[in-house]
Amino acid sequence: MMRIGKLLPSLTNSQGDAENADALVKVLTWYGVDASLVVFEPGSHLESCNVYVLGHVTESDHATAQVHLGLWGAELVGYVSAGSVVLAVGSSLSLLTDVGLLGGVTAVRSERFVGDTVVEAETGLLWGFENSAQTYSCASDESAWGAVLIGSGNGDGTEGVRRRIADGLVLGTHLHGPVLVRNEEIMDEVIRHITKSDKTRVIAPEALRARELARENRAERIAQLRKS
């Protein structure tokens, strides 16, 4: 049984970021892998999960989220070192730097960026929507997801961060909402990591349809953005 954890969703679900956890459970189920969702709200005891999703935190909730995540910090680092994945979105990148899961530097942007972002990654083009007032500079043991073609991303021409910690994986992005749904390459990377298998056993026809629609939608949106 795979366990997908949602960290502090009541503080972090304003833009549909936390729903990446629900989407992961759904995809695993479509693939014929048993999976369940586990929610960790302030005050809960953190348990071992295969993936943890942490969404963007608004400014007013940032300090509260920092305190609660801080309480789980050591355990979270332990679970990640043992092989878990963390996906962090938007301002929560800075929460991960606080607990040592990311080693780069976050800074406040002079002006908030709101709009579509297109990234050229090794696997092809990634797309998402950003609403971000923060920049990120990767540390030497971290790599970005790719180069920004449209939009803003990390603020230095790259977007995203990927860091391996022992057997674990930390993924950070400024792309809001269902970033894994919109970008199947990242979804597959997470699933490959936790199932330790290169084969994605697609069984359900709705899984194929959802993937195909997402691929078409992304291609159309990128084409529109390139035209404008």
Partner 1 sequence: MLRYAPVVAIGRLVRWVARKRKPGGGAAIPGVVVNKLAPGFLGNTLNSFPQGLVVVTGTAGKSTTTRMLAAVVSAHGRRVFTNPSTANIAQGLTSAILAQSSFTGHIDSDIAILEMDEGHAAKLSAEAAPRVSILLNVCVDQVDRFFDPQLVTAMLSRVAQNTSETIVYNGDDASVVDAVAGVAAQKNSFVMGSHLRAQDIDKMGYARVSTAATSMPTVTLQSAEKKLASLEVDGHEVSVSLPSAGIHYGVDAAAALAASRSILGSDFDVALAVSVISALDPVFGRGETITVRGQEIDFVLIQNPTSYRLNLNSMAPNAECVMIAVGSDVRDYSYLWPVHMDHLEKVAIAAGPKAKEVAIHALYGGCVVGLVEPDLNLALEKFLALPTPLDGRKTLVFSADSMRRTRRYFGLAEQEAWS
Site of interaction with partner 1 (CB under 8 A) = 13-19, 22-23, 26, 58-61, 112, 114, 129, 131, 176-178, 181, 206, 209-210, 213-214, 216-217, 220
Nearest distance from residue 95's CB to partner 1, in Å? 17
**Whole-number Å distance between alpha carbons of 73 and 60:** 21
Nearest distance from residue 60's CB to partner 1, in Å? 5
Pair 93, 172: CB distance under 8 Å: yes
* Helix, strand, coil percentages in the chain from 3-state DSSP, rounded to 5: 35, 30, 30
Cβ proximity to partner 1, 19 vs 142, nearer residue? 19
Cβ proximity to partner 1, 76 vs 181, nearer residue? 181
Supply 75's token pair: 């355990």
Cβ proximity to partner 1, 79 vs 145, nearer residue? 145
Nearest distance from residue 10's CB to partner 1, in Å? 8
Nearest distance from residue 196's CB to partner 1, in Å? 24
**Whole-number Å distance between alpha carbons of 104 and 115:** 24
Cβ proximity to partner 1, 34 vs 216, nearer residue? 216
Cβ proximity to partner 1, 125 vs 210, nearer residue? 210
Cβ proximity to partner 1, 197 vs 217, nearer residue? 217
Q: What is the 3-state secondary structure (H, E, C) of 176-218?
A: ECCHHHHCHHHHHHHHHHHHCCCCCCCCCHHHHHHHHHHHHHH
Cβ-based burial of 203 (10 A; exposed 0-12, middle 13-18, buried ≥19): exposed
Q: DSSP class of residue 167?
A: T
Nearest distance from residue 26's CB to partner 1, in Å? 5
Nearest distance from residue 9's CB to partner 1, in Å? 9
Reference 190, options 95, 52, 54, 16; nearest CA is 52
